[in-house]
Chains A and B, each alone.
Chain A
Amino acid sequence: MAVITADSDQVGALQAATQDRSAPVEIIVPELVHHVLPGPEFVQGYRAGVEDLSRRLGEDTTEEAGPVFDDSAEATWGLQAVGWGPEVPAAAGIRVAVLDTGMDLEHPDFAAREITAKSFVEGETAQDGHGHGTHCVGSACGSVSEEGRRYGVASEAEIYAGKVLGDEGSGSDAGILAGINWAVANQCAVISMSLGADVREQHPPYVVAGRRALERGSLIIAAAGNNADRPGDPGFVGTPANSPAIMAVGAVDSALAIARFSARSFPGVGGQVDLAGPGVDVFSSWPMPKRYLSISGTSMATPHAAGVAAVWAGVTGHRGLELWATLDKESRRLELLSVDVGAGLVQVRS
């Protein structure tokens, strides 16, 4: 870069010269003069105070937001909300692990997909006997429904379905950590975990596992938890999502309001919600013969974020902490509290 002094008529001629692609100068711009930012205006502060007070008194002065998104014939509201469109790359070649109740390996929507499935639950195969895992795999890596409605983000990703929760929906750390280890060993760029315990204290094994996975290029994305009952009780981010090196995902509804059940950040490293995803009335795959089901939870928001992460991993080549930063940077800021939605709603394109 160089700073030069030029007459005003010379500036135009210089700028025109840079239009020539062979010119060695990329851009010429006039120098700007920057000023110290003015302090907060009194009137602005007064108005914000009045609005806040009336909100607290239950007299919301802002307009009530109606549904912003709706399931359409082409795509679920969640896919629309994360910015999906037919031109968005589908994460081909990226491995995504979903550690959950396994997956319905006979589901017709996944017949043509590359799937690696493994059970870490003694006495059970990777076949999903609950439904939760099949639903989560659907949002992260599914494609279109029988009727042609798109419901999965990373529709060309390689699926690693790890069964770490049994058909009854329960599992211990032993299976979950074994599943993480398996996903890391298989170089999964993204590990989606819609599971947790309502335990506020950080659980040391996940603190270390999250860090070591991240160092090896696997980003763990976990559900913030459903222990809130808003507006009275905002809940808290449970383990393992409260581990500093694991991303925590909260849930918003189709009006982009925080979901009633979505857990809030609490003070301290790791206890924060990092991102939000679509998590209310989410349409996705379910074990046959039902085939599809719409359910709610931060469990549903999490695989949306994982699918989005897989797309960015494919587009940018970023892994680990760099992929984490990309998700943060690209997310859509919401007019909600950051303690509820972190950096905002995950977005699949800039």
Chain B
Amino acid sequence: MSPGEQSGAPSSPDGANANAPRQVVVTVETQYQSHIAEVCDGLTRTGVVVEQVMTELGMITGTAPDAQRLAAASSVEGVASIDITIEHHLPPPDAPVQ
């Protein structure tokens, strides 16, 4: 896993650089949850680097090398949706409102 490692602006799903790698969350269709390993194989074949497999939630996180392979991954059998990850930030520890 490599949360938060991507440079650029992860808060913008339509980030300017289509060739930049993007960290993604893949949601697996409910009926494919018990075959999540096969969905991973399908994603790998399209060029997505699988990082974590979350069997309870039926989700996979990974990195898509570019926009083209991200689009290809969304048509893999068993994939319900692919979303670019977003970042969450807390205020600094000395902020009065957290």
Contacts and interface: CB of A to CB of B under 8 A. Distances in A.
B88 A176 contact: yes
Nearest to B30: A212
A132 B1 contact: no
Contacts of B16: none
B54 A297 contact: no
A65 B14 CA distance: 48
A195 B89 CA distance: 8
Contacts, number: 127
A195 B90 CA distance: 7
A16 interface: no
Contact of B87 (A197, A204, A205): A197
Interface in A221-244: 226, 239
Interface string A204-219: 1100110011001000
A181 B3 contact: no
Contacts of A125: none
A178 B54 contact: yes
A121 B81 CA distance: 24
Interface in A122-167: 122, 130-132, 135, 165-166
A199 B2 contact: no
A110 interface: no
A204 B83 contact: yes
Interface residues of B, number: 35
B3 A172 contact: yes
A174 B89 contact: no
A203 interface: yes
Interface residues of A, number: 45
Contacts of B97: 226, 261, 295-297
A184 interface: yes
Interface in B39-98: 51-52, 54-59, 61, 80-81, 83, 85-93, 95-98
Given A177-B57, A295-B98, 19 more contacts: A120-B3, A122-B3, A132-B90, A166-B4, A169-B90, A169-B92, A170-B87, A172-B3, A173-B86, A178-B1, A181-B54, A184-B57, A197-B11, A197-B87, A205-B25, A208-B80, A212-B57, A261-B97, A297-B98
Interface of B: 1-5, 10-11, 23, 25, 27, 51-52, 54-59, 61, 80-81, 83, 85-93, 95-98
Interface of A: 101, 120-122, 130-132, 135, 165-166, 169-178, 180-181, 184-185, 194-197, 199, 203-205, 208-209, 212-213, 216, 226, 239, 261, 295-297, 299-300
19 contacts: A132-B93, A165-B90, A171-B87, A172-B4, A172-B88, A173-B25, A173-B61, A173-B85, A173-B88, A175-B3, A177-B59, A178-B61, A196-B88, A197-B88, A205-B25, A205-B27, A208-B57, A216-B56, A261-B97
